[in-house]
Structure formats: C-alpha cells, structure tokens
C-alpha cells in the first residue's frame, strides 16, 4: 500500500477529546511516554498505569518498544493537554489501527515512511502485539478507511 499521495491522512487535525476510546487511550499513552522521555523519568510505569485504567496494562511494553523505535528519528508527539493531534500522532494511530484490524502490510507501509525496513518490521511486530493487547481488553481501533474517524 502506498502511503504517499493520500488526499488526507485519517485523524489529521482530529480533536483529541473527540477520539474513540481506543484511539484516545493510545494517544494519551504516547503523550505520557513522550513527556516522561523529555523529563528523564521512566516511561514504562507511567504508560502502564494509564493503560491499566482500561484494563490494557499489558499493552505498555509493546507501546514502549514501538515508540522507542519511532523515536530513533525525531518524533513529534503532543503534550498531554494538546487539543488536537499533532506531528506523527495521526500516522501512529493509522499504523496501530491497521496492525490490529488486519491489513498489517499497511501498518508496515506507515512505519516504513519513518524508519528503515529492519526497524519497521520490528516496530510492526510491536504494533501488532499492542493491538492484540487492546483487543483482549475490549478496545478496538476504528476502521481508518471507513467513515471519518
């Protein structure tokens, strides 16, 4: 799947408060991870507690691995109070939704835009693991190619 030339990335400029539960939880966790990384505090405990609020605490380690892989190059993630999605947040949600919902080659294509192939394959595995953990917790990402998320 080509990810360049899309007329509009799903979730571009979406309001954070208007996101469905799974997407909002993933963005809140990514933002908490980024904040911890910026302040030099351990990120894994922060995101584990946040994810546990929706019984998805087991998604913390795969999300940590995914974000560490993405952070190899500059990663723009909003602050916890940003009203809209910024930077790579829409692409992160797209990769996670594709990884969870089945078109995993599309998740890989999203990640290949940000990193070399070997790293993208490892990040895709982490995204799939996170999607599975979310699904076990009853959290399902919206179809990014269906109605506007």
Integer Cα distance of 92 and 8 in angstroms: 15
Please count the CA atoms within 13 angstroms of the CA of 101 that sit on its side-chain side: 17
In whole angstroms, what separates CA 54 from the centre of its chain? 16
Q: Is the pLDDT of residue 135 over 50?
A: yes
Strongest mean pLDDT among 17-21, 76-80, 109-113, 136-140: 136-140
Q: Which residue has the tokens 């917790």?
A: 137
> What is the pTM for the complete model shown?
0.88
Integer Cα distance of 38 and 16 in angstroms: 21
| Pick from 124, 23, 19, 24: nearest CA to 70 | 124
Segment 15-61, tens digit of pLDDT: 899 999 999 999 999 999 999 988 999 999 989 999 999 999 999 99
């Amino acid at each position: 799947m080509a990810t360049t030339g899309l007329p509009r990335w799903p979730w571009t400029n979406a309001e954070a408060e208007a996101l469905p539960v799974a997407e909002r939880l993933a963005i809140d966790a990514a933002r908490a991870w980024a904040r911890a990384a910026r302040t030099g505090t351990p990120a894994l405990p922060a995101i584990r507690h946040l994810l546990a609020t929706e019984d998805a605490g087991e998604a913390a380690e795969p999300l940590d691995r995914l974000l560490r892989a993405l952070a190899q190059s500059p990663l723009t993630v909003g602050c916890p109070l940003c009203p809209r999605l910024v930077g790579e947040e829409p692409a992160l949600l797209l990769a996670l939704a594709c990884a969870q919902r089945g078109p995993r080659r599309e998740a890989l294509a999203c990640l290949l835009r940000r990193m070399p192939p070997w790293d993208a394959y490892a990040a895709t595995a982490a995204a799939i693991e996170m999607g599975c953990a979310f699904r076990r917790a009853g959290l399902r990402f919206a179809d990014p190619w269906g109605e506007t998320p």
